[in-house]
A and B are shown apart, each in its own frame.
Chain A
């Protein structure tokens, strides 16, 4: 019996920006444990959904007690796949992320749903679920507890990394947006640590 995690978060930025940030979030100051990032696959389906696959490698940090028990596992980084589906009509992004190696030690499967908040269209809702399991005889429980604890830490970093990237996007002047079909002229938003609920949303599309 593994461990389960679930959280619901409001991201105070519009959906199209959150998605742009999703693709661009590495590297960021909170992602030093992410070593490499590669897109392996992209496809636009006939129903106009965007499918993507990304490969990440992450450092494999274990707590001290586990390092002594599993020294061999320290040698290789963790390979993580992130598959995703963007639905540009429903304004949703679904992601599934899981590790390809070290699975007997611990397998973490994470599913995220980003969707535009219909009641507050300048916000995006994020629902995150994770399933953490270990198949090591006799140590599964402490390993799963460690895994859950690390997952919580990492998802907090992931949110900080996403907000950091969102701030960067919001302060960029996108030259290719000037003079396009939108009738408003936009100025870059003033730099702010995190987008807050009190800002009036700028319309980019």
Chain B
């Protein structure tokens, strides 16, 4: 899958591979020994955040889990 920053796709793939491994092998198994992907994530983020600014994608200040929309019930 491509990154929104064309130059970032390879860095994204590296990070995704690291994350997918860690997620299934460590995180879901209750291993809290820490995240081995921080370095690849940083490299990937430097690239993708730059692309986001260049393309003016409006992600700044958007609250986590976003719109607390009115729900009919529950």
Contact = CB atoms under 8 A, between A and B. Distances in A.
Contacts of B71: 111, 129, 131
A111 to B, nearest CB: 8
A17 to B, nearest CB: 9
Contact of B67 (A23, A24, A44, A109): A109
A39 B29 CA distance: 22
B10 interface: no
A20 B66 contact: no
Given A20-B20, A23-B19, A23-B20, A55 B67 contact: no
Contacts of B62: 81, 100
Interface residues of B, number: 39
Interface string A34-76: 1111111010100010110101010000000000000000000
Interface string B55-67: 0011100101111
A88 B21 CA distance: 15
Contacts of A100: 57-59, 62
Interface string B7-49: 0100010011001110111011110100100000100110011
B26 to A, nearest CB: 10
A27 to B, nearest CB: 5
A42 B64 contact: no
Given A37-B1, A88-B28, A23 B57 contact: no
A141 interface: no
A4 B72 CA distance: 9
Nearest to A34: B1
A50 B27 contact: yes
Interface in A75-120: 79, 81, 83, 85-86, 88, 96, 98, 100-101, 107, 109, 111
29 contacts: A23-B23, A24-B20, A35-B2, A36-B4, A37-B1, A37-B2, A38-B3, A38-B4, A39-B16, A39-B19, A42-B41, A50-B23, A55-B52, A79-B57, A79-B58, A79-B59, A81-B59, A81-B62, A81-B66, A83-B64, A83-B66, A88-B27, A88-B30, A96-B67, A98-B67, A101-B58, A107-B67, A176-B25, A205-B29
Interface of A: 4, 16, 19-20, 23-24, 26-27, 34-40, 42, 44, 48, 50-51, 53, 55, 57, 79, 81, 83, 85-86, 88, 96, 98, 100-101, 107, 109, 111, 129, 131, 176-177, 205
